[in-house]
Structure 1
Amino acid sequence: MTVTVARHTSPATDAEAFAERLGQRVGRRIDGLEESTDMIDFAFTTAVMALRARCVVDPEAAAVETWEATVNAMQLGSALFAVSGVSEGRVECRINHKVRSLPSAGRLSSADAGTWLTAFWLAVICRDQQRMTQLCEIPLERLRAPEGAYDEYVYDWVDTLQTYWLRRPGLVEKLTATFEKSDPSVARIAPQDLLQGLLYPPINLFYHFVRRDVEGFSPALEEALKLHKAYWTLTEDREKDIDGAVALGPLAIACLAYDGELPIEVESEYLPHFLLRRAWLGEFPT
């Protein structure tokens, strides 16, 4: 039986106009990247916000504009790491329907493990296997932030995902280390409500996915969405925050499961229907 997890956010009266303004802002920032990539991290965060804004007004991702917003966010996330990986010359990246020649940026402080996870989730959602591989080939040491930015388990989690996608040995050991270090008694940097509500659930969901746990995956997905909802409704300010509109991590793992033919017995606007079921794949070059 399919379970529905209702989304807490509802479109504001100006939600459509807000999404349109964000989309235009993203377009302007993309157009400026060939001159300078100094602000590529801001372009990326704006694009992710624009994706969420589109999903507020188009919760099933039924409109091509929502797919374009998703692809733009994915392309900018990958481009951020591409220009951060070189210290001279230019890098060609397709962004917003055009191949662009972007100047190298050297090591960007924003090109860290947290940003990597968002970029990887977007590549998974867009089913862009080439970008998934490129992201997974980035050495883990390049993703380390200054001490105190992240709990150590975050790096084990990135290592786990890279190992899975590149089919490297040691997946079980790395996933086990991720579980152990993300325990609330061990993790000290992330606030406990953030850890339990948003950061840990994708790890647990991935565990059920790699085990091909048909009976356990959908209940774990339902739990992840309920925890997501609980986190974003804990305070009035959070409830108004557009960041809660889509559960990116659970959506990405659900996309992996869907492509792996595991039954998905959960429906929710946190998991836009047409993104989960790859309905827009091939609509235009990504």
Structure 2
Amino acid sequence: MTVTVARHVVPGPDAERFAERLSAQVADRIDRLERSADAIDFAFSTALVALQAHCVADPQAAKLETWEATVSATQLGSALFAVTSASEGAVECRIDRKMRSIPVIGPQPFADAGNWLSAFWLAVVCREQQRMTQLCEIPLERLRSPEGDYDEFTYHWVDVLQTYWLQRPGLVDKLIAAIETSDPAVARTTPRDLLQGVFYPPINLFYHFVRKHEEGFSPALVEALKLHQAYWTLDEERKTDIDGTVALGPLAMACLAYDGKLPIEVESDYLPKHLLEHGWLGEFPT
């Protein structure tokens, strides 16, 4: 039986125009990257907001503009790590339907585990296997925040995903470490509501996915979406924050499960239908 989890964000009359304005800002920031990539993190964060805005106006991601916003965010996420992983020269990146030569800027604080997870989720949603591989080949130590912004479970979690995708040994032990260190009694830097509502649910979903637990994945996905909703509706400020529109981590896990033929008995605008079911795959080069 399919369970429906309603999204808390309701599109207003200007939702489509707001999304269009954000996409125009993203396009402008993409064009600037060929002169300097110093603000690529700002371009990436803006692209993530634009993606969420398009999904407000187009809850099932049925419009080409929503797919274009998703692809641009994915390309920017990959480019962010490409330009910070080299020390000189330029990298060739396809962004916004065009090959671009972007000057490298070397290691930067914003090339951290948090942005890595967002970039990886997007690559999974777009089924961009080459980008997934490139991201997973980034050494874990390079993703550590010098300010100690993340609890240790975050790095264990990145290690799990890299190990899984690159088929390295030790996946089970690494997953156990990620689960154990994400316990609120152990993770002290991450606020408890953020940990339980946003960071932990994808780990739990991955656990069911790698076990090929057909009976457990959909209930875990329902729980993940309800926790996501609870986090983003905890107060009035969060309710109006567009960042809660799409549950990006659970969406990526659902994409892996969907492609792995696990039944997805959940419908929700937090998981835009045509992103989950890769309805736009192959529409244009990504």
Q: Does 1:157 align with 2:154?
A: no
| 1:198 corresponds to | 198
Q: TM-score, normalised by structure 2?
A: 0.99
**Which residues in structure 2 correspond to 1:26-41 (within 5 Å)?**
26-41=26-41
1:116 aligns with 116
Indicate yes or no: 2:11 matched with 1:11: yes
Count residues with an aligned counterpart.
286
Task: Name the counterpart of 1:266.
Answer: 266
SS in 1 for 2:19: helix
Deviation (angstroms), 1:147: 4.1
Q: 2:77 corresponds to which residue? A: 77
Does residue 239 of structure 2 align to residue 239 of structure 1?
yes
**Helix, strand or coil for the counterpart of 2:94?**
strand
Tell me the equivalent position of 2:136. Answer: 136
* TM-superposed deviation, 1:191: 0.4
Which whole-Å CA distance do the structure 2 matches of 1:108 and 1:25 have between them? 23
In structure 2, distance between residues paired with 1:75 and 1:148: 27
RMSD in angstroms over aligned alpha carbons? 0.5
Q: Which residue of 1 aligns with 2:58?
A: 58
2:253 is aligned with 1:253: yes
| Structure 1 residues without counterparts, runs of 5 or longer | none
Alpha-carbon distance in structure 1 between the residues aligned to 2:206 and 2:95? 29
SS in 1 for 2:114: helix
Cα distance between partner residues in 1 of 2:11 and 2:109:
34
Counterpart position of 2:43: 43
Match of 1:226 in 2: 226
- How far apart, CA to CA, are the structure 2 residues paired with 1:258 and 1:155? 26
Alpha-carbon deviation of 1:148? 2.6
1:61 partner letter = A
How far is 1:108 from its partner?
1.3
Q: 3-state DSSP class of the match of 1:101?
A: strand
Instruction: Write the deviation string for residues 190-220 of structure 1: whole angstroms up to 9, x where unpaired.
Output: 1000000111000000000000000000000
Q: Distance in 2 between matches of 1:147 and 1:35?
A: 29
> What is the CA–CA distance in structure 2 between the aligned matches of 1:156 and 1:109, rounded to whole Å?
19
Q: How far did 1:13 drift? A: 2.5
TM-score scaled by length of structure 1: 0.99
Looking at structure 1, the residues matched to 187 and 13 of structure 2 have their Cα atoms a distance apart, in angstroms, of 40
- Runs of 4 or more, structure 1, over 6 Å off, are none
- SS of 2:133's equivalent in the other structure is helix
C-alpha deviations, 1:69-103, integer Å up to 9, x for none? Answer: 00000000000000000111000000000010000
Q: CA deviation at 1:2?
A: 0.3
Amino acid at match of 1:222: V
Q: Does the residue aligned with 1:92 lie in a helix, a strand or coil?
A: strand
Residue 126 (structure 1) shift: 0.2
The amino acid that maps onto 1:112 is: D
Amino acid at match of 2:107: R
User: Which runs of no fewer than 5 residues in structure 2 stay unpaired?
Assistant: none
Counterpart amino acid of residue 72 in structure 2: N
Identity in percent: 72
Amino acid in the other structure paired with 2:15: A
Alpha-carbon shift at residue 237 of structure 1 (Å): 0.6
CA distance in 1 between counterparts of 2:6 and 2:144 reads 36
Q: CA deviation at 1:15?
A: 1.3
